[in-house]
């Protein structure tokens, strides 16, 4: 192949390779957001005891009821009232966590709770962290196992009071649980029960799970798209994601049913709610922590089109007005398009506005005086058809009128393809949309065959964001899809086509990002975890090899035989890295045979002597990684000699290789 070092193409966008985060598969609660108590505030409508069980054989516990009698606050207006007729070590509740609680030996956990003493002689609350003796869920919890930490909270008062204590775990357990029992007989009110690891990213009080953030940061991501995905839309408009309800005091954030609350293999009773402990402030902070541009996606005024045809009416009123109004209430509303537009304008002010602005002041009050420097905003997730376009147009106009510098990401629905997709693309280009977000989930073969997808896209006008894509080994939404090497190497092959078209494609992200091994709804996923461990799939390593080797300028690649990219199952792309003075060549050999390639670096200057190769390979296309074998398919580095501008390198069978060759353009 010839890399035309002397005929450089487009600059590679700094946002080229990024991340798409959605709260699916326990990605937020039970995953990145490390609160260990499920349903800490008893606020889940109609299901106030999700996650909580009375202790087996707790005859002493006369009642445990949810109450609203003089609650902590107007938004946090349910709590549990426990009444024990006799003093007993069994009078109490157990919280099961998110498929158990992961505790580590000698690690510290901050437990806090609001308590209010009622009639009787309850003198305290016993707090125990214990291992499950056996797994199981149901109306009653499993018998107790090894005790890992224990304390007693005393000094109860007749008014609500917050108590905080730090517990150190005496052992490591992937499935521990929290046991709370009354000391004495009588009544005790309890609310906002939390157990939070002290070891969080940047040691923040409401911080994220460190191993998961590290996996993200290691990728050098260009952007973070959040919070979804279909959860942006909700199954109904009432269940849509409302960012204003996810900021401010964590204890006051009201939970909402998750769009992905459904029966899944691990549990027949759906129990998936969003606590919003990971809310928009935390998403912005996370983006900053991992060096990624934040890309929030907002609801355009449409519920999820796969579930519903609910639409916000487009009113003829004079457009949104500035307001400092209260957060919406989930149940309150009959929102019009203006509500959604106003939310977008307020979000930009929240992210970037000064302290003198109403929403900027809220960000400052949360501890971030500097702006988050928001540059992108997504209008609608994976929406299509005329209903989308007629909402998008006034929406985009209003955002641009107030914030001309903000780049708008628009949606064209799922692909491949179809009439609606094509019509939406055409119209968005007419409207001079800046970034069009395309989604595709398809077979590994499709990814290899469509490496030229963007070759004939226009070089001017709207840019492309491949916002969600992944190879599906069985079929879209099949629970049996695997994160196999076949899927990953096919994505690597496809991505040479993204890189070759860096003048058109400026953002790309794999989907979905995270999955809990005991609580997923969608496969495949890039990173899998349990309550203690996590691993990157082969697909993770493919993404990481691109995002840590993005380069700065695209270099055209031609084959000596004039063949197309992908012909004979050899895929390639190249970039110059002007920061380091290297030429970076990406090569995919989708074949069971090793393959010698000769790379002519046409017009290269200042050639060095030693190159570095990063190789991801497996002879088994069905190979996967797992919690126990996280490195089964993982990249290996080696060096190689560069003798001249004609570099030769032997690609391993079924391999993805990144060559970094010292040399300038
Ligand atoms: O990534 C899973 C889902 O796939 C997303 O929520 C949605 O945008 C797409 O259909």
Are 179 and 266 in a shared domain? no
In a domain, 570, yes or no: yes
Q: Is the pLDDT of residue 657 over 60?
A: yes
User: Is residue 92 within 8 Å of 179, Cβ to Cβ?
Assistant: yes
- Given pLDDT bands bounded at 50, 70 and 90, which one contains residue 140? very low
Last residue within a domain, chosen from 197, 217, 236: 197
User: Is residue 370 within 8 Å of 289, Cβ to Cβ?
Assistant: no
User: How many Cα atoms occupy the beta-carbon half-sphere of 62 within 13 Å?
Assistant: 12
In a domain, 616, yes or no: yes
In a domain, 39, yes or no: no
Report ipTM (2 d.p.): 0.98
Q: What is the pLDDT of residues 154-181, one digit of tens each?
A: 999 999 999 999 999 999 999 999 999 9
In angstroms, the Cα distances linking 24 to 21, 437, 570, 573 are: 9, 20, 35, 33
CATH assignment of the domain containing 568? 2.60.40.1180
**pLDDT value of residue 325:** 39
Ligand 1 centroid–CA 333 distance in Å is: 26
Q: Is the pLDDT of residue 330 over 60?
A: no
Are 144 and 262 in a shared domain? no
| Closest atom of ligand 1 relative to the 512 alpha carbon | 1
In a domain, 117, yes or no: yes
Are 535 and 562 in a shared domain? no
Are 426 and 455 in a shared domain? yes
Is residue 131 part of the annotated active site? The answer reads no
User: Is residue 314 within 8 Å of 388, Cβ to Cβ?
Assistant: no
Range(s) of the domain holding residue 246: 19-31+201-547
Ligand 1 centroid–CA 523 distance in Å is: 11
**522: Cβ below 6 Å to ligand 1?**
yes
Pocket test for ligand 1, best of 468, 525, 527 (most atoms within 8 A of CB): 468
Ligand 1 centroid–CA 302 distance in Å is: 15
**523: Cβ below 6 Å to ligand 1?**
no
- % of the chain exceeding 90 in pLDDT: 86
**230: Cβ below 6 Å to ligand 1?**
yes
Are 414 and 467 in a shared domain? yes
Which position has the higher pLDDT, 186 or 57? Answer: 186
Q: Which residues have C-beta within 8 Å of that of residue 359, sequence separation ≥ 6? A: 324, 346, 347, 349, 350, 353
Question: What mean pLDDT is reported for the chain?
Answer: 93
Q: Which of 43, 239, 382, 438 is catalytic?
A: 382
| Closest atom of ligand 1 relative to the 470 alpha carbon | 1
**pLDDT value of residue 58:** 54
Q: Is the pLDDT of residue 464 over 50?
A: yes
Rg for the chain (alpha carbons), in Å?
A: 27
Ligand 1 centroid–CA 229 distance in Å is: 5
Are 166 and 301 in a shared domain? no
User: How many Cα atoms occupy the beta-carbon half-sphere of 307 within 13 Å?
Assistant: 17
Pocket test for ligand 1, best of 522, 523, 524, 526 (most atoms within 8 A of CB): 522
- Given pLDDT bands bounded at 50, 70 and 90, which one contains residue 332? low
Pocket test for ligand 1, best of 28, 225, 228 (most atoms within 8 A of CB): 228
The token duo for 324 is: 């400092």
Are 221 and 264 in a shared domain? yes
Are 101 and 215 in a shared domain? no
CATH assignment of the domain containing 276? 3.20.20.80
**27: Cβ below 6 Å to ligand 1?**
no
**pLDDT value of residue 143:** 61
**437: Cβ below 6 Å to ligand 1?**
no
Angle between helices 280-289 and 210-217 (to 10 degrees): 50
**pLDDT value of residue 265:** 63
**618: Cβ below 6 Å to ligand 1?**
no
- Stated pTM of the model: 0.95
Are 176 and 121 in a shared domain? yes
Are 179 and 156 in a shared domain? yes
Ligand 1 centroid–CA 534 distance in Å is: 22
The token duo for 3 is: 């890399």
Last residue within a domain, chosen from 146, 170, 197: 197
Lowest mean pLDDT among 220-224, 243-247, 305-309, 526-530: 305-309
Are 234 and 166 in a shared domain? no
Q: In the chain, how many domains are there?
A: 3
Pocket test for ligand 1, best of 511, 521, 524 (most atoms within 8 A of CB): 511
Are 457 and 414 in a shared domain? yes
The CA distance from 217 to 357, in Å, is: 32
CA-wise closest residue to 84 among 111, 53, 63, 101: 63
CATH assignment of the domain containing 156? 2.60.120.260
Q: Is the pLDDT of residue 295 over 90?
A: yes
Name the pairing type of β-strands 223-226 and 293-298.
Answer: parallel
**659: Cβ below 6 Å to ligand 1?**
no
Q: Is the pLDDT of residue 342 over 80?
A: yes
**382: Cβ below 6 Å to ligand 1?**
yes
In a domain, 285, yes or no: yes
User: Is residue 635 within a helix (H) or strand (E), and if so which, with residue range?
Assistant: none
In a domain, 36, yes or no: no
Ligand 1 centroid–CA 329 distance in Å is: 25
For residues 103-139, one letter each, b for 16 or more C-beta atoms within 10 angstroms of the residue's C-beta and e for the rest, the string is bbeeeebebbbbbbbeebebbbbbbbbbbbeeeebee
Last residue within a domain, chosen from 171, 197, 223: 197
In a domain, 426, yes or no: yes
The CA distance from 514 to 233, in Å, is: 19
- % of the chain exceeding 70 in pLDDT: 93
Ligand 1 centroid–CA 460 distance in Å is: 28
Q: Tell the residue nearest (CA) to atom 4 of ligand 1.
A: 229
In a domain, 174, yes or no: yes
């Amino acid at each position: 192949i010839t890399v035309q070092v002397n005929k450089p193409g487009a600059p590679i966008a700094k946002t080229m390779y990024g991340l798409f985060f959605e709260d699916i598969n326990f990605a937020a609660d039970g995953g990145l957001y490390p609160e260990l108590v499920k349903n800490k505030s008893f606020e889940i409508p109609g299901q106030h005891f999700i996650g909580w069980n009375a202790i087996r054989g707790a005859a002493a516990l006369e009642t445990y009821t949810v109450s609203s009698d003089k609650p902590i606050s107007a938004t946090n207006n349910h709590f549990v009232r426990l009444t024990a007729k006799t003093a007993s070590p069994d009078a109490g509740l157990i919280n099961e966590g998110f498929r158990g609680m992961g505790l580590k030996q000698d690690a510290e956990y901050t437990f806090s709770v609001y308590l209010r003493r009622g009639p009787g002689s309850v003198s305290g609350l016993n707090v125990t962290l214990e291992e499950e003796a056996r797994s199981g869920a149901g109306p009653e919890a499993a018998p107790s196992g090894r005790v890992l930490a224990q304390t007693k909270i005393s000094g109860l008062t007749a008014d609500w009071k917050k108590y905080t204590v730090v517990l150190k775990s005496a052992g490591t357990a992937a499935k521990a649980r929290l046991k709370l029992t009354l000391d004495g007989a009588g009544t005790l009110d309890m609310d906002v029960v939390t157990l939070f690891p002290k070891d969080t990213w940047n040691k923040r009080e409401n911080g994220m799970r460190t191993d998961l953030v590290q996996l993200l940061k290691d990728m050098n991501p260009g952007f973070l798209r959040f919070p979804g995905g279909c959860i942006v839309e909700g199954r109904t408009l009432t269940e849509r994601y409302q960012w204003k309800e996810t900021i401010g005091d964590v204890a006051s954030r009201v939970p909402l049913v998750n769009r992905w609350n459904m029966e899944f293999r691990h549990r027949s009773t759906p129990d998936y709610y969003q606590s919003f402990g990971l809310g928009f402030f935390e998403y912005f902070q996370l983006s900053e922590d991992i060096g990624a541009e934040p890309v929030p996606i907002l609801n355009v005024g449409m519920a999820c089109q796969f579930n519903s045809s609910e639409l916000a009416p487009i009113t003829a009123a004079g457009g949104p007005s500035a307001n400092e109004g209260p957060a919406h209430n989930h149940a309150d509303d009959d929102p019009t398009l203006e509500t959604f537009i106003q939310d977008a304008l307020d979000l930009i002010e929240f992210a970037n506005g000064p302290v003198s602005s109403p929403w900027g002041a809220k960000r400052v009050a949360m501890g971030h005086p500097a702006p988050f420097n928001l540059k992108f905003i997504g209008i609608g997730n994976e929406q299509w058809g005329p209903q989308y376009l007629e909402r998008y147009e006034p929406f985009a106009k209003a955002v641009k009128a107030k914030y001309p510098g903000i780049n708008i990401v628009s949606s064209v629905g799922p692909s491949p393809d179809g009439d609606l997709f094509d019509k939406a693309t055409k119209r968005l280009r007419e409207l001079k949309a800046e970034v069009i977000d395309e989604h595709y989930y398809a077979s590994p073969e499709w990814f290899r065959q469509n490496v030229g997808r963007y070759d004939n896209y226009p070089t001017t006008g709207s840019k492309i964001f491949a916002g969600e894509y992944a190879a599906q080994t069985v079929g879209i939404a099949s629970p049996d899809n695997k994160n196999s090497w076949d899927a990953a190497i096919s994505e690597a092959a496809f991505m040479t086509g993204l890189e070759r078209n860096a003048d058109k494609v400026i953002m790309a992200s794999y989907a979905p990002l995270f999955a809990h091994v005991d609580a997923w709804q969608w496969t495949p996923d890039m990173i899998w975890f349990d309550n203690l461990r996590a691993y990157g799939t082969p697909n993770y390593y493919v993404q990481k090899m691109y995002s840590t080797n993005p380069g700065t300028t695209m270099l055209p690649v031609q084959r000596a035989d004039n063949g197309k990219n992908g012909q004979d199952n050899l895929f390639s792309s190249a970039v110059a890295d002007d920061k380091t003075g290297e030429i970076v060549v990406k090569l995919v050999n989708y074949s069971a045979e090793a393959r010698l390639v000769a790379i002519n670096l046409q017009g290269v200057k200042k050639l060095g002597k030693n190159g570095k190769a990063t190789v991801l390979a497996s002879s088994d296309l069905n190979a996967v990684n797992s919690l126990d074998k996280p490195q089964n398919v993982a990249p290996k580095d080696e060096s190689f000699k560069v003798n001249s501008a004609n570099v030769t390198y032997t690609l391993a069978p079924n391999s993805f290789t990144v060559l970094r060759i010292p040399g300038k353009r």
